[in-house]
Amino acid sequence: MKVREQKNATIISREANTMGKLKPCPFCGGNPRQVTDHDIGKFPSSIIVCEKCESATNRYVIDHVFLEISRTQAAEKAKAKAAEAWNKRVHQVVNCENCLHGKSVTVCGNGQTEPPYIDVVHCQLFKYQVNPEGYCSYGKERNEI
């Protein structure tokens, strides 16, 4: 789903994940960005979008008039609801490099027997070379002692 900002939206804030409150994207591991605005019926709303693959949460809109709270309080509630939805996970996302099934190996980069040698990760579950920063739904955290 591609998310584009509306031309007439009044952006309250466009915050990068500098405080570490948001988990990485569950699909690609990218950095999330929270956008809070007043574009839906002039009520504060918030959405979180991955900067890399543009995955996003639903837009959370808070009716401050009905709840008899200030716009600022409504914006904070919308931000909190979006963050809660973004951070909800069935299981922890683990990249291949830190996965129990990933095994670091050194291979010859040119397919021959002489240098240059490169370090890669071989997935023992699927039996092929994978991107160390990749993800799959079978990833399990490796507990190194």
For the chain, the domains span 11-87, 94-145
Q: What is the per-residue pLDDT for 119?
A: 77
User: What Å distances lie between residue 89 and 21, 96, 103, 116, CA to CA?
Assistant: 14, 18, 25, 40
Q: What is the per-residue pLDDT for 141?
A: 78
User: Is residue 47 a contact partner of residue 56, using CB atoms and an 8 Å limit?
Assistant: yes
Q: What is the per-residue pLDDT for 3?
A: 44
Q: What is the per-residue pLDDT for 9?
A: 43
Q: What is the per-residue pLDDT for 41?
A: 65
d(CA 20, CA 42): 29
Q: What is the per-residue pLDDT for 4?
A: 43
pLDDT, tens digit only, all 145 positions of the chain: 344 444 444 444 455 554 458 999 888 888 999 988 866 667 888 999 999 999 999 888 888 888 888 888 888 899 999 999 998 876 667 778 888 888 877 776 666 666 777 777 888 887 777 777 777 767 777 775 4
Nearest 5°: the CA angle 98, 104, 110 is 135
Q: Name the pTM for this structure.
A: 0.53
34, 32, 65: which is closest to 47 by C-alpha? Answer: 34
State yes or no: cis peptide before 44, omega within 30 of 0.
Answer: no
β-pair partners for 130? 121
